A = this chain, B = another copy of it.
Amino acid sequence: MTLHVDLEVFQQTYKLKIEHAMLDFVNERDMPSTIRDAMIYSLQAGGKRIRPILLLAVIEGYGKEIRSGMKTAAALEMIHTYSLIHDDLPSMDDDDLRRGKPTNHKVFGEAMAILAGDGLLTHSFQLIAEDDLISSNQKIKLLSLLAKCAGPEGMVGGQVADIEGENKRLTVDELESIHVRKTGKLLIFSALAGAIISGASEEEQNKLENFAHHIGLAFQIQDDILDIEGAEELIGKRTGSDESKQKSTYPGLLSMEGAKGKLQFHLDEALASLADLNMDTALLEQIAYLIVNRNH
């Protein structure tokens, strides 16, 4: 067991390295400057980098070398960034602001925003395929899992279901199934990728998958709560936007009290999944609390 690491310190250190890894990759490639600028604009838009931090926290917990996960972490954040660019488009959520800054298509136009998203999605697979620090077999496992979690079976399918769920009153199960795909699968990839890179057993992987599943749902419930309770300046976008789009939310279906109870349930389940793992789980526990206690 290593000494317990503080998540804030860990996040500060590796956020910068993840950002460098993404920018280095994009800057080293030969491409038209417009799309490079458009991709870099969104890669630099900030954020907590919670997915790659989770991936690296699993590797740290297993006492393995963090640098062996750096390219996969960067690839993962690129996929997340592409999904935000496409989700913000006028034909999708039609958002003008993202983290307080104009969205990609507001700055670069719709065509370039679509292509910047396509470029980041493609680059993310390239980054993993070209990683020298992990084996071909690990790369294939990661690439296959990433495609499954990000594609129509996962995140892209979740966005489809989310669009189709607008202006409908969903059941809690339907809402949960949308979130499991739209945000949950990529969090599951984050945890499993850390485990694959660390060489963890299948049993360990199952527990980590369960952990990620529950923090994913907790994340989304907290998002819905913040959409109602959060202050506009803190989350950098209009609050109450779910309501104005007639989207089903946890507080809307369960009342605010019910939603907070469900949040606590998923936090408890997530923490319970960490028992009996052959690793130092301190960072993962802190990640779970961070998701529940965040105010933006």
Contact = CB atoms under 8 A, between A and B. Distances in A.
A16 interface: no
Interface string A151-167: 11100110111011000
Interface in A1-45: 26, 29-32, 34-36, 39
B118 A91 contact: no
Nearest to A161: B32
Contacts of A112: 160, 163
Contacts of A122: 121, 147, 150-152, 156
Interface size class of A (residues with CB under 8 A): 35 or more
Interface in A114-163: 114-115, 117-119, 121-123, 125-126, 129-130, 136-137, 139-140, 143-144, 147-148, 150-153, 156-157, 159-161, 163
Contacts of A275: none
Given A121-B118, A121-B121, A151 B137 contact: no
Interface of A: 26, 29-32, 34-36, 39, 86, 89, 91-92, 109-112, 114-115, 117-119, 121-123, 125-126, 129-130, 136-137, 139-140, 143-144, 147-148, 150-153, 156-157, 159-161, 163-164
